Amino acid sequence: MLGFYLSLTLKNLLRRKRRTLLTAAAIAVGILYFVAFDSMLSGLNQEAVSNMISFETGHVQLTAPVGTPAPSVEAVLADVRSQADVVGATPRFVVPAMLVAEADELPVSVVAVDPKSDTQVFKQAHYVTEGQWLTDGTMIGAPDTIEEPTATAPISIVLGQRIAGLLGLTVGDSVGIRLNDATAMATATAGAPPAAATVTGIVNTPHPTVNSSQIFVAVGRARELVDAAGVSPSTVVSVSVAPRRTRDPIRIVASIGTIAGWKVESWNDTATFLAIGSGKRTYAMALLGLVMIIATIGVVNSILLSTMERTREIGILMSIGMTRSQIVTLFVMEGGGLGLLGGLLGAVMSVATNYYLVEVGIDIQSILGDIDLDIGYPIATAMRGAWNWPMLIVAVLFGLAVSLIASYLPARRAAGLDPVACLRRL
């Protein structure tokens, strides 16, 4: 019986090749549209998360309570490094500052890094385009000097590329750094001379925030700055951790357990601020709905036309003793066939398109031209898609379901026809 229905369905679909193909194409385009959109969103998300991990937080971040003394931080570091799944850990702290270059001033974040261990966790060092990344020493050309020769020697700094561009700085240039301490801000007594610094490197990372607002300073020299400015008590130190395998963070968080006053988070926890995951996905779902309305209209139209063209045939089938539910089945299966074909076509088109989106991506810069893209969101200039197989399957199944449901109404209308009226039609 089912075999008979299937072959009858296939034959009827083939009888109207053009209409079948057009309707299936509408469904396929709907699926493609959705999958591509979702792919770009997932891609944005993945890149944002990966940038955050590589340049901001590491896989696991431990945040010290305000005013934690350096020895306590060292103790936590040592403890974290002793964990089995940990391959690296490094401390960092960030303080807001003004970068002074001759007459220009630019608000920046001073990121204090430990040159010895920072590269175990973070990737800034791989994106140095000019000069070099911070070394233990602070003097140019003396990377291995452990002790600062004099407290007045200029501080070595590495700049984000956009800062360098804005201020017209290159390696070797002298600049000043003035930390924004709370009291100085309030009383506008920023009169103290800025600390002398020398640009030793420029980084151009995929993370726009790094490029546009961060300057990197070895942690020892940063401490001096902080102490001099009197912002030390409010400085928040964090320890970032690189796990052995990327799926270890949660295990690491668990094995570290609780450290009094410290906050221990994996990137999963931190990434929740990337609201693109939920908010924009709702938008994608709305898009899916819209696109499927078009597919629904296509299927309803196609099946309705079929039932109208085949009115006499319906009468004949009824005279042979087909029941109403069998007539409904006949046309719903035709709708299902359209959905299946559309889904298949859509899957093929989606995979092909997504391959391009993942491998090549869309170059935002060529679309936006010279407009600076700093949306405060950690993505670079090319938008890449991402593979999201469950979504593809969902989209195809959704297309199939929509087709079945959409064909039900015209099928029921056909089944409710009066057999005598059908037979009067030729």
Partner 1 sequence: MHLVEAVGVTKDYAHGKMALPALRGISLELSSGEFAALAGPSGSGKTTLLNLIGCLDSPTSGKLTVAGTDVQTSSPTTLARLRRERLGFVFQTYNLVPVLTAYENVELPLVLLGRKRDASTRAAVMSILSEVGLEGLETRLPSDLSGGQQQRVAIARALVKQPALVLADEPTANLDSDNARAILDLMSHLNSVKGVTFLFSTHDQLVMEYARRIVSLRDGKIVNDERR
DSSP one-letter code for 57: I
Report how far residue 28's alpha carbon sits from residue 400's, in angstroms, rounded to the nearest whole number.
10
What stretch of H or E contains 240? strand 237-243
- Size of interface with partner 1, in residues (CB under 8 A): 25
Within 392-421, which residues bind partner 1 (CB under 8 A)? 418-420
Complex with partner 1: residue 181 or 334, whichever CB lies closer: 334
Query: At its nearest, how many Å lie between partner 1 and the CB of residue 4?
Result: 5
Complex with partner 1: residue 72 or 311, whichever CB lies closer: 311
DSSP state string for 154-221? PEEEEEEHHHHHHHT--TT-EEEEEE--HHHHHHT-TTSPPEEEEEEEEE--S-HHHHHHEEEEEHHH
Complex with partner 1: residue 126 or 312, whichever CB lies closer: 312
Per CB under 8 A, which region of 1-9, 60-68, 184-192, 261-269 contacts partner 1?
1-9
Strand locations in 335-414 (E): 362-363, 382-383
Complex with partner 1: residue 16 or 81, whichever CB lies closer: 16
302 close to 20: Cβ distance less than 8 angstroms: yes
Cα–Cα nearest to 281, from 31, 29, 45:
45
Complex with partner 1: residue 287 or 322, whichever CB lies closer: 322
Write the binding mask 283 to 322 for partner 1: x where contact by CB under 8 A, - elsewhere. -----------------------------xx--xxxxxxx
Query: At its nearest, how many Å lie between partner 1 and the CB of residue 352?
Result: 33
CA atoms within a 13 Å half-sphere pointing along the CA-CB vector of 242: 16
Write the binding mask 4 to 43 for partner 1: x where contact by CB under 8 A, - elsewhere. x---x--xx-xx----------------------------
215 close to 106: Cβ distance less than 8 angstroms: no
Query: At its nearest, how many Å lie between partner 1 and the CB of residue 403?
Result: 20
Give the pair of three-digit tokens for residue 279. 């908010």
Cα–Cα nearest to 113, from 226, 239, 275, 262:
239
Give the pair of three-digit tokens for residue 164. 């360098």
Complex with partner 1: residue 395 or 415, whichever CB lies closer: 415
Residues at the site binding partner 1, with contacts judged by CB under 8 A: 1, 3-4, 8, 11-12, 14-15, 312-313, 316-324, 326, 418-420, 423, 426
